[in-house]
Amino acid sequence: MSFILKHPSMNRLSVIFFAVLLSSFNLFPVEAQYHAPAETIFTRQDSLRGSITPERAWWDLTYYHLDITVNPVDSTIYGSNTVTYKVIKPFGLMQIDLQEPLNVMKVVQNNSVLKFKREGNVYWIELAEKQEQGKIYSVVLTYGGKPKVSTRPPWSGGITWKKDKNGLPFVASSCQGDGASLWWPCKDHMYDEPDSMLISVNVPGNLMDVSNGRLRSVIKQKNKTKTYNWFVKNPINNYGVNINIADFAHFSEIYNGEKGPLDCDYYVLKEDLEKARLQFKQAPMMIAAFEHWFGPYPFYEDGYKLVEAPYLGMEHQSSVTYGNGFNNGYRGVDLSNSGWGLKFDFIIIHESAHEWFANSITYEDIADMWVHESFANYAESLYVEYYFGKEAGSEYVLGTRANIQNDKPVIGIYNVNHEGSGDMYYKGGNMLHTIRQIVNDDKKWRNILRGLNKDFYHQVVKGSQIENYIIEKTGINLKPVFDQYLRDIRIPVFEYSLKGNNLSFRWNNCIPGFTMPLKIYISGKEQVVKPTPFFTNLKLETENAIIKVDPGYYVATLNITGK
Ligand SMILES: [Zn+2]
């Protein structure tokens, strides 16, 4: 997903000013730790939604067949989901999630009807048959009703029912955060993904459905409707599954990438076809840039699709949805205020970056959403760098600092479906850019980015696994850096003073024991220093040197003598 700007008028200067202000008034003493606000209260429903309950843990998803009829006339969805799973540990009760106002009507296993109870958005299904370890079973869940309508897609989940210029339905789903159980019954936790999935969507005969994976068949039904069968060959995360229903125009091309020919298919409203043919030229440019930085596009088997949607956009796996108006920038705005943000279409670049960081490497708990958003945000600057050079990419990252709030930690609260601060975007991107300065070896840095995508290919991860991987591969103790930027709200201040040729410096406004190497310029001469929360003295060659901190590091600077 893409973040919405809260204070677009705030500029870079005001952030630096704010950071310095914080440190001079010492609002956050060195030893202070950030604590979550006490008013955050979670319910049993939050725990059922956000944790790996015993009723989820005993079975491993292998396959879903979602088979639904979507009726734009009365805004309903009716159908079934067949859930196929392998028994890890025999158990008699299964948790399936489906959110109100939708209802499960019937549950069947091997021709016998099962009993179930509803508790809010959770269905407790009593299995009649003995569930033997290692064996594969299926349950068929029949469900339907009028799914929640999204009030602010994609930030509020639900179905969007709109019309095109010819008055034909233009329908789409979006559900990150709220969860896929908003529109279909499933195991609504990110830790478990099916190995593959069939999505069958029945729609009025004059419309088409575009979902994930490849279009396997279109079946004409007797009642003048059509069923589109989309098959996903790879593991898919639940919020990545989507429906897009409209009278689409279609065009395609083949991109010759690192893993061979990649089918790229584009579906847009007929009225937008000409604009799309021009704007979507950025799709193969995006693949070229991200294959360079991150390695092969992760879903060659399922192809790459860009699908017009009646909202801004979302990283639906192998069918990225697009609603950015066929203009560059974020709805025409440069989020970095550097000029570089208008050189590319934010939604094509940002949402497609999620194919690597979100759809291939997926967070287990939404508290670690930074794994998706920090890297997707950082990817924007790498795209800029690939086409416009290193300096341009750096200007883009630094420009986005004005959007950082430093309001809450980037990491949310685990096991209750809780996201951290929106800072997971710009601050996360700046943290990665800072780490790149510390690594100070572009080849190594790119190998780490590619290594992440190779070693965690198609995996669900904890954020700490990504942190540990980067620590291991860089050989640098970056734990304090991750803790500072992901688990605290303070931006470290490099405090220094000069007396003659004696430079004295430390980190302040930081977590206890914070260390991070920093590149400074002493009268223009580059030097890496290793400040700690205690003052260190350094004898300089000359008196009255001019001290400058490398702007690539996201830190504040304060000359404590005020000079
Ligand atoms: Zn995103």
pLDDT of residue 6: 39
Between the CA of 240 and the centroid of ligand 1 the distance, in Å, is: 12
Between the CA of 444 and the centroid of ligand 1 the distance, in Å, is: 25
Between the CA of 417 and the centroid of ligand 1 the distance, in Å, is: 17
Structure tokens that stand for 369 in this block:
């959403």
Q: Residue 26: is its pLDDT beyond 50? A: no
From the CA atom positions of the chain, what is the Rg in Å? 25
Percent of the chain with pLDDT over 70: 93
Q: How many CA atoms are closer than 13 Å to the CA of 153, on its beta-carbon side?
A: 23
Between the CA of 377 and the centroid of ligand 1 the distance, in Å, is: 7
The 10s digit of each residue's pLDDT in 279-311 is: 999 999 999 999 999 999 999 999 999 999 999
Between the CA of 107 and the centroid of ligand 1 the distance, in Å, is: 35
Q: Output 187-190 pairs: Cβ under 8 A, ≥24 positions apart.
A: 187/56, 187/61, 187/83, 187/95, 187/96, 187/97, 187/238, 188/49, 188/97, 188/238, 189/49, 189/50, 189/51, 189/52, 189/56, 190/237, 190/238, 190/239, 190/362, 190/363, 190/364, 190/365, 190/366, 190/460
Cα torsion through 392, 396, 398, 403, rounded to 10: 170
CA distance 200 to 224: 16
Between the CA of 357 and the centroid of ligand 1 the distance, in Å, is: 9
Structure tokens that stand for 178 in this block:
């709220």
Average pLDDT over residues 368-388: 98
Between the CA of 354 and the centroid of ligand 1 the distance, in Å, is: 7
pLDDT confidence tier of residue 457, bands split at 50, 70 and 90: very high
Between the CA of 509 and the centroid of ligand 1 the distance, in Å, is: 29
Between the CA of 44 and the centroid of ligand 1 the distance, in Å, is: 28
Q: Residue 16: is its pLDDT beyond 90? A: no
pLDDT of residue 561: 87
Question: Biggest alpha carbon distance in the chain?
Answer: 90
Q: Which residues contact residue 213 at a Cβ distance below 8 angstroms, ignoring those fewer than 6 apart? A: 197, 199, 230, 231, 232, 233, 234, 236, 302, 303, 318, 319
Between the CA of 498 and the centroid of ligand 1 the distance, in Å, is: 43
pLDDT confidence tier of residue 32, bands split at 50, 70 and 90: very low
Between the CA of 385 and the centroid of ligand 1 the distance, in Å, is: 19
The 10s digit of each residue's pLDDT in 395-433 is: 999 999 999 999 999 999 999 999 999 999 999 999 999
CB atoms within 10 A of CB 17: 12
Between the CA of 189 and the centroid of ligand 1 the distance, in Å, is: 19
- CB-based burial of residue 457 (10 Å sphere; 0-12 exposed, 13-18 middle, 19+ buried)? middle
Between the CA of 458 and the centroid of ligand 1 the distance, in Å, is: 18
Between the CA of 29 and the centroid of ligand 1 the distance, in Å, is: 34
Between the CA of 108 and the centroid of ligand 1 the distance, in Å, is: 38
Contact (Cβ atoms closer than 8 angstroms) between residue 260 and residue 291: no
Between the CA of 426 and the centroid of ligand 1 the distance, in Å, is: 11
Contact (Cβ atoms closer than 8 angstroms) between residue 254 and residue 262: yes
Structure tokens that stand for 64 in this block:
């879903």
Between the CA of 443 and the centroid of ligand 1 the distance, in Å, is: 26
CA distance 118 to 98: 9
Percent of the chain with pLDDT over 90: 92
Between the CA of 4 and the centroid of ligand 1 the distance, in Å, is: 10
CB atoms within 10 A of CB 43: 10
Between the CA of 350 and the centroid of ligand 1 the distance, in Å, is: 6
Q: What is the DSSP letter of 147?
A: P
Between the CA of 428 and the centroid of ligand 1 the distance, in Å, is: 12
Between the CA of 309 and the centroid of ligand 1 the distance, in Å, is: 16
Beta bridge partners of 345: 329
Between the CA of 1 and the centroid of ligand 1 the distance, in Å, is: 3
The 10s digit of each residue's pLDDT in 479-489 is: 999 999 999 99
DSSP E strand boundaries for 340-407 = 361-363
CA distance 175 to 207: 22
Between the CA of 122 and the centroid of ligand 1 the distance, in Å, is: 28
CA distance 314 to 291: 20
Between the CA of 193 and the centroid of ligand 1 the distance, in Å, is: 20
Between the CA of 360 and the centroid of ligand 1 the distance, in Å, is: 14
Between the CA of 221 and the centroid of ligand 1 the distance, in Å, is: 38
Helix (H) or strand (E) holding 83: strand 76-87
pLDDT of residue 2: 59
Average pLDDT over residues 226-252: 98
The 10s digit of each residue's pLDDT in 172-227 is: 999 999 999 999 999 999 999 999 999 999 999 999 999 999 999 999 999 999 99
Q: Does the bond joining 261 to the residue before it have cis omega, within 30 degrees of 0?
A: no
Average pLDDT, the chain: 93
Between the CA of 440 and the centroid of ligand 1 the distance, in Å, is: 27
The residue count of the chain comes to: 563
Q: Which residues contact residue 537 at a Cβ distance below 8 angstroms, ignoring those fewer than 6 apart? A: 502, 503, 504
Between the CA of 74 and the centroid of ligand 1 the distance, in Å, is: 32
Q: Residue 141: is its pLDDT beyond 60? A: yes
Contact (Cβ atoms closer than 8 angstroms) between residue 403 and residue 381: no
User: Ligand 1 (ion): which residues have CB within 5 A?
Assistant: 1-2, 373, 376
Between the CA of 373 and the centroid of ligand 1 the distance, in Å, is: 5
The single-letter code of the amino acid at 125 is I
Q: Residue 385: is its pLDDT beyond 60? A: yes
Between the CA of 352 and the centroid of ligand 1 the distance, in Å, is: 9
